[in-house]
Structures are given as structure tokens and as C-alpha cells.
């Protein structure tokens, strides 16, 4: 005798009762791009419906975020000034530091995560300090610690380093603790792959490397076992949350990480994942809402406890 699986698919009532995975605005973290200047709300061409905001225009997006029911943002800054050591990244009056203080004034509860990396701030576009054409790991760590501390001082709730230097979590944890920021948490971009899916973001953040590529620090897309080692080290060094990035092409990594580690797992559904759906929808070839929600659901099903997505606001509205 065969099993009648269709019994539990009979109508929406029973389907609603047996559903294993659901999406809610609580799952989403919205990436927010801030720029210097005044009265700027400029659409990012490669990320339709996402914008560069100057600080004076933040109140309107914060209220959209609140209306959508989204609780967390991850901040990215586009500075006016870049140099070899990315000094605007740790400047007390840098774009991110000012943005954090401004957002705190507008909304004291919104959960502010900051991306800690140097590529948007360095003249060469790499995620660290260059020595002889190579990103110097240990030299970079000192800067990563400084950047993280400046974000914490400005009022960030959580620090998310995306540079992929070895030992950065330990460096950040120690720096934060020594300076009285024991309660600022860390979300580690642990398994961050060297991915072509970041293409549209590099437009948005003007952060493409001016020479070479990121293969000597970001992970090889072919490797799964190595991701577990990266994650294990980050947890040991003090990460509160670990991340897999990108999401859709790396669902296997997400699932393995989820099964193996007892910390919350974040997934970053990156710019290319978003832009492909937007482009397909614009061509009229796919149903944007259905595809976006199905993609997000698959990321959650694969094990993500939270998803950084450019769809955060749109998806939250669709879910209402
Ligand atoms: C900075 C950083 C990148 C992304 C997040 N933080 C770009 C990169 O590593 O090249 C990518 C995000 C996206 O594509 O949505 N290092």
C-alpha cells in the first residue's frame, strides 16, 4: 500500500498547519548605503529600489524599515576620501560613524549592524593593507580592530567583519572588551566566498579592487570542508553569529553549518542574487514576488536564522 502524501496538501488550511518553514520580517536584515552630502536619495543602478542616502534623508528610510517590521540593518558607507590605509573607515567623523549616531537619534531601538571592511575606503580597493602587492594579514588586523572600535563607540549593536583576514574575530573581540564594549556582538562573515555574485555591490559601494582579485583572502567556491574550519575558528575566537555568503549558490554550506554548529547562522543573499531576479522580472520572464519569496524561503529552509537581503523591505510588505 502506498502513502497518500496528497492528503496533507488538500487545502490551504492543512497546508498551513503542516508547513515546516515560514518567513517573517524578523528574519530579514536590510543593507543600507550611506553617502556624504545633503538631500541625496539616489537609486543604485545595479540594485533597483535600493538607494544611496545622505544622512539628512535617513528618517524616511528608517520609517519605511519600521513600517515593514524589519528590526535590523547592516550599514555600508561610501566615503568621499580614500587612501592607502582606508583612514576614513576609522575616523570618528567618517560616514559610518556619523550615520550610526544619526540613526540612533531617529530610532533608539533599531538594531544596527556595521560591515567592517576596508575595500570601500582604500584607494586600491583591497580589504586590507598592501605590502609588496599582497594584503598583509597581521598589519590589517590592527586596522580592523580600530574600525570595529570606532563603530562601537558611535553606537553600533553588532560588528560584522567581512575582510576575511585570519584572526580578525579575536582581534575585534579583544579590542572591544578592553575598551568597555563587552556587550557589542560580532557577526562573522565566516564563509565568505570569492564570488562573481558581488558584482552589482561593487558598483553600489565603489569597492572593486584596482588590481588583482580577492582570491588570496576570500574562499574558493569549490571548497566546503574549509568553510567548516573557518566557522569553527570564528566561533572559538568569539563570534556570536556566523555567516555564509553568498546564499543561493551555497545552500549546502548553510545546511552543513547549521547541522554542525550551535550558534545562529546568518546568510547573505548578495547583490547578484537580487539583481538577477530584478532583471528577469523587468524582462517579464519571471514572477518577481513568487521567485523572490521562494528564494528567501529556500535560504531559511537550508538553515539560515537570519537573512541579509536587498528584498528585506519588499518581501516584508509581500508577507503582510
Ligand atoms: C566588503 C563587502 C562586499 C560585500 C559585502 N561586504 C564586497 C566584496 O567582498 O567584494 C558584497 C555584498 C553583495 O554583493 O551584496 N568586503
Read off the pLDDT of residues 286-295 as tens digits, 9 standing for 90 and up.
999 999 999 9
Whether residue 206 has pLDDT greater than 90: no
The atom number, within ligand 1, closest to the CA of 310 reads 15
Pocket mutation for ligand 1, best pick of 50, 125, 162 (most atoms within 8 Å of C-beta): 162
The structural domain count of the chain equals 1
Question: Distances from the Cα of 114 to the Cαs of 20, 38, 62, 138, 192, in angstroms?
Answer: 32, 22, 16, 22, 16
All three cell numbers of 29, joined, read 536584515
43 appears as a binding residue in the annotation: no
271 appears as a binding residue in the annotation: yes
The residue ranges of DSSP E strands in 92-219, in sequence order, are 111-116, 129-131, 134-136, 158-161, 185-192
Rounded to the nearest 5°, which phi and psi values hold at 95?
-60, -40
Residues contacting ligand 1 via CB (< 6 Å): 115, 117, 119, 127, 162, 198, 201-202, 207, 270-271
| CB-based contacts of 125, cutoff 8 Å, min separation 6 | 119, 207, 208, 209, 210
> Residue 177 C-alpha to ligand 1 middle, in angstroms?
27
Of 3-12, 210-219, 255-264, the range with the lowest mean pLDDT is 210-219
Please report whether residue 8 resides in a domain. Answer: no
Whether residue 41 has pLDDT greater than 90: yes
Quote the pLDDT of residue 223.
98
The atom number, within ligand 1, closest to the CA of 199 reads 14
All three cell numbers of 173, joined, read 573581540
Of 23-27, 116-120, 205-209, 222-226, the range with the lowest mean pLDDT is 205-209
Q: State the residue range of the domain holding 117.
A: 23-319
Per-residue pLDDT band at 207 (split at 50, 70, 90): confident
Quote the pLDDT of residue 77.
96
Please report whether residue 13 resides in a domain. Answer: no
> Residue 202 C-alpha to ligand 1 middle, in angstroms?
7
Quote the pLDDT of residue 220.
97
- Name the residues annotated as catalytic: 192, 245
Per-residue pLDDT band at 298 (split at 50, 70, 90): very high
214 appears as a binding residue in the annotation: yes
Bridge partners of residue 266, in order along the sequence: 243, 306
Quote the pLDDT of residue 51.
97
Whether residue 28 has pLDDT greater than 90: yes
Per-residue pLDDT band at 203 (split at 50, 70, 90): confident
Please report whether residue 227 resides in a domain. Answer: yes
The atom number, within ligand 1, closest to the CA of 274 reads 15
Quote the pLDDT of residue 181.
98
194 appears as a binding residue in the annotation: no
Please report whether residue 4 resides in a domain. Answer: no
Quote the pLDDT of residue 202.
84
> Residue 174 C-alpha to ligand 1 middle, in angstroms?
25
Quote the pLDDT of residue 258.
98
CATH number of 82's domain: 3.20.20.70
Please report whether residue 289 resides in a domain. Answer: yes
Pocket mutation for ligand 1, best pick of 116, 127, 205 (most atoms within 8 Å of C-beta): 205
**Distance of alpha carbon 250 from alpha carbon 255, whole angstroms:** 9
Pocket mutation for ligand 1, best pick of 44, 201, 277 (most atoms within 8 Å of C-beta): 201
Amino acid at each position: 500500500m502506498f502513502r497518500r502524501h496528497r492528503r496533507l496538501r488538500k487545502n490551504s488550511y492543512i497546508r498551513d498547519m503542516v508547513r515546516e518553514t515560514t518567513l517573517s520580517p524578523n528574519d530579514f536584515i536590510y543593507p543600507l548605503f550611506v553617502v556624504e552630502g545633503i538631500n541625496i536619495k539616489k537609486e543604485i543602478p545595479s540594485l533597483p529600489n535600493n538607494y544611496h542616502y545622505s544622512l539628512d534623508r535617513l528618517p524616511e528610510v528608517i520609517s519605511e524599515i519600521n513600517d515593514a517590521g524589519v528590526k535590523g540593518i547592516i550599514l555600508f558607507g561610501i566615503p568621499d576620501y580614500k587612501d592607502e590605509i582606508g583612514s576614513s573607515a576609522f575616523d570618528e567623523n567618517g560616514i559610518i560613524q556619523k550615520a550610526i549616531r544619526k540613526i540612533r537619534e531617529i530610532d533608539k531601538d533599531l538594531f544596527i549592524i556595521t560591515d567592517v571592511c576596508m575595500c570601500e575606503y582604500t584607494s586600491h580597493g583591497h580589504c586590507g593593507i598592501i605590502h609588496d602587492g599582497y594584503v598583509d594579514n597581521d598589519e590589517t588586523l590592527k586596522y580592523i580592530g580600530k574600525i570595529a572600535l570606532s563603530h562601537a563607540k558611535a553606537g553600533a549593536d553588532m560588528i560584522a567583519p567581512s575582510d576575511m583576514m585570519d584572526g580578525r574575530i579575536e582581534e575585534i573581540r579583544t579590542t572591544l572588551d578592553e575598551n568597555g564594549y563587552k556587550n557589542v556582538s560580532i557577526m562573522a562573515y565566516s564563509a565568505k566566498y570569492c564570488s562573481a555574485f558581488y558584482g552589482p555591490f561593487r558598483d553600489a559601494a565603489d569597492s572593486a579592487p584596482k588590481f588583482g582579485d580577492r582570491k588570496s583572502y576570500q574562499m574558493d567556491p569549490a571548497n566546503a570542508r574549509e568553510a567548516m574550519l573557518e566557522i569553527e575558528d570564528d566561533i572559538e575566537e568569539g563570534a556570536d553569529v556566523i555567516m555564509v555568503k553568498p546564499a543561493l549558490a551555497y545552500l549546502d554550506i548553510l545546511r552543513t553549518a547549521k547541522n554542525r554548529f550551535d550558534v545562529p547562522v546568518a546568510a547573505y543573499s548578495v547583490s547578484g542574487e537580487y539583481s538577477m531576479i530584478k532583471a528577469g522580472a523587468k524582462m517579464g520572464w519571471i514572477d518577481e514576488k513568487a521567485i523572490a519569496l521562494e528564494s528567501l524561503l529556500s535560504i531559511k529552509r537550508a538553515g539560515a536564522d537570519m537573512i541579509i537581503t536587498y528584498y528585506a523591505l519588499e518581501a516584508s510588505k509581500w508577507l503582510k
